């Protein structure tokens, strides 16, 4: 993959990367087995840049756990975000899209200085999927077959709690011998791929809902930012609806449609994210982190934390002590 950093108008294109962090993206690509590649990333972007490369045919899964991502497969642009920004957002939640490529295409990734992405990208060749289908002795599900035959066809997927935990363990594996670590990662990645493809066994994917109008989308973005702050932690649903200027039923329906989450689900996620940040950055006590996340019991907090992130609060706290 060739990287071309963003430059002022009139500057020569195709220049060598001005920061080693850009080339490091390509260096993190790993081949699990022929026809199956993975790219894991957990990094802050060092510069404003546009990276170009060649995108091989296959089914591409982009699994974003946190942050934002702006990529394009040919003319098919994909914007993902778990926070503010992006046209395909799942605020405070992991999100995933599958993009099918039937012929070589130009791949583009745009980065902004200070931007953050914790994500996995899987590329599965069509031959690999066809061989797997043949080995199963069954017919390929019609939904998967339809997706694989459409150039730049795309399908969104809302990952389950188990899928999120698998991805977290790939990105932040427990300490063990390098060979065992790779074995653990490969098994989890295959499990994750199975989770992503499972909904396609049931039938054709449902069409995506039309986009919200601009005014309502802005109101919901403003509300989401408010809900992500500590000021909203103790509010009732009626209080939040009044703040948003709509009734409770409309609020719940619009919020779920825009972000794939209930209002309180998003508040709960935001509090867990703040608690994790405080553990990893400041090394606060687990009791204080539990209170920050809205849990009266540290034990209940530890259970919810492990289910969400795939690690214990104690493990997160150790990051601040390194």
pLDDT, one tens digit per residue, over 85-130 is: 433 333 346 888 999 999 999 999 888 888 888 899 999 999 999 9
- Separation between Cα atoms, residue 25 and residue 226, nearest integer Å: 33
Residue 258 lies in a domain: yes
Tell me which of 180, 201, 222 is where a domain ends.
201
Q: Tell me if 308 sits within 8 A of 295, measured CB to CB.
A: no
Residues 196 and 238 in one domain: no
Residue 206 lies in a domain: no
Question: CB count, 10 Å around CB of 161?
Answer: 11
Residues 150 and 28 in one domain: yes
- Separation between Cα atoms, residue 182 and residue 230, nearest integer Å: 39
From 20-29, 202-211, 258-267, 269-278, the region with the lowest mean pLDDT: 202-211
pLDDT digits (tens, 9 = 90+) for 149-186: 899 999 888 888 788 888 888 887 766 677 877 888 88
CATH number at residue 66: 2.60.120
Tell me which of 152, 168, 201 is where a domain ends.
201
In this prediction, residues 293-299 reach a mean pLDDT of 92
Residues 40 and 154 in one domain: yes
Residues 53 and 162 in one domain: yes
Residue 188 lies in a domain: yes
Tell me which of 166, 201, 236 is where a domain ends.
201
Alpha-carbon torsion angle 63, 66, 72, 73, nearest 10: -10
The helix-helix angle for 214-227 and 248-259 (nearest 10°) equals 90
Q: Is the pLDDT of residue 295 over 90?
A: yes
Q: Residue 96 pairs with which residues in a beta bridge?
A: 63, 157
Tell me which of 19 and 44 has the higher pLDDT. 44
* Domain count for the chain: 2
Residue 208 lies in a domain: no
Residues 40 and 124 in one domain: yes
| DSSP states along 279-308 | HHHH---HHHHHHHTT-S-HHHHHHHHHHH
Tokens at 303, concatenated: 């259970």
Q: Is the pLDDT of residue 209 over 50?
A: no
Residues 182 and 221 in one domain: no
Residue 221 lies in a domain: yes
Residues 36 and 133 in one domain: yes
Q: What contacts 214, CB < 8 A, 6 or more positions away?
A: none
Tokens at 64, concatenated: 């974003």
Residue 281 lies in a domain: yes
Residues 172 and 41 in one domain: yes
Residues 226 and 144 in one domain: no
Residues 195 and 218 in one domain: no
> Measured on CA atoms in the order 274, 278, 279, 280, is the torsion positive or negative?
positive
Residue 209 lies in a domain: no
- Separation between Cα atoms, residue 190 and residue 38, nearest integer Å: 11
pLDDT score at 88: 38
In angstroms, the first-to-last Cα distance of the chain is 34
Question: CB count, 10 Å around CB of 124?
Answer: 23
Q: What letters, b where the CB count within 10 A reaches 16 and e where it falls short, cover 298-314?
A: beebbebbeebbbbebe
From 111-115, 137-141, 147-151, 203-207, the region with the lowest mean pLDDT: 203-207
Residues 22 and 148 in one domain: yes
Residues 17 and 70 in one domain: yes
Domain that residue 272 falls in: 214-321
CATH number at residue 311: 1.10.10.60
């Amino acid at each position: 993959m060739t990287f071309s950093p963003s430059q002022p108008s009139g500057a020569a294109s195709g220049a060598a990367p001005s920061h080693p962090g850009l080339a490091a993206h390509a260096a993190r690509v790993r081949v699990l087995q022929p026809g199956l590649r993975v790219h894991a990333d957990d990094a802050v972007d060092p510069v404003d840049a546009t990276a170009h490369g060649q995108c091989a045919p296959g089914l591409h899964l982009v699994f974003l756990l946190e942050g934002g991502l702006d990529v394009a497969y040919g003319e098919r642009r994909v914007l993902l975000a778990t926070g503010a920004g992006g046209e395909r957002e799942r605020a405070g939640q992991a999100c995933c899209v599958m993009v099918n490529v039937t012929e070589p295409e130009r791949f583009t990734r745009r980065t902004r200085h200070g931007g953050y992405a914790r994500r996995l990208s899987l590329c599965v060749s069509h031959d690999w999927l066809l061989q797997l289908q043949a080995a199963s002795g069954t017919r390929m599900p019609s939904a998967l077959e339809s997706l694989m035959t459409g150039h730049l066809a795309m399908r969104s997927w809302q990952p389950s709690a188990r899928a999120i935990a698998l991805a977290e363990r790939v990105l932040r594996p427990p300490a063990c011998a390098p060979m065992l670590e790779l074995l653990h990662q490969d098994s989890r990645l295959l499990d994750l791929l199975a989770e992503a493809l499972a909904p396609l066994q049931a039938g054709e994917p449902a069409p995506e809902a039309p986009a919200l109008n601009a005014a309502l989308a802005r109101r919901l973005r403003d509300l989401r930012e408010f809900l992500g702050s500590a000021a909203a932690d103790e509010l009732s649903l009626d209080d939040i609806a009044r703040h948003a200027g709509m009734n409770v039923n409309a609020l719940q329906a619009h919020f779920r449609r825009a972000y794939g989450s209930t209002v309180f689900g998003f508040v709960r996620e935001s509090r867990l994210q703040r608690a994790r940040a405080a553990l990893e950055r400041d090394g606060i006590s687990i009791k204080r982190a539990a209170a920050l996340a809205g849990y009266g019991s540290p034990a209940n907090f530890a259970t919810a934390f492990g289910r969400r992130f795939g690690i214990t609060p104690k493990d997160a706290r150790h990051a601040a002590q390194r």
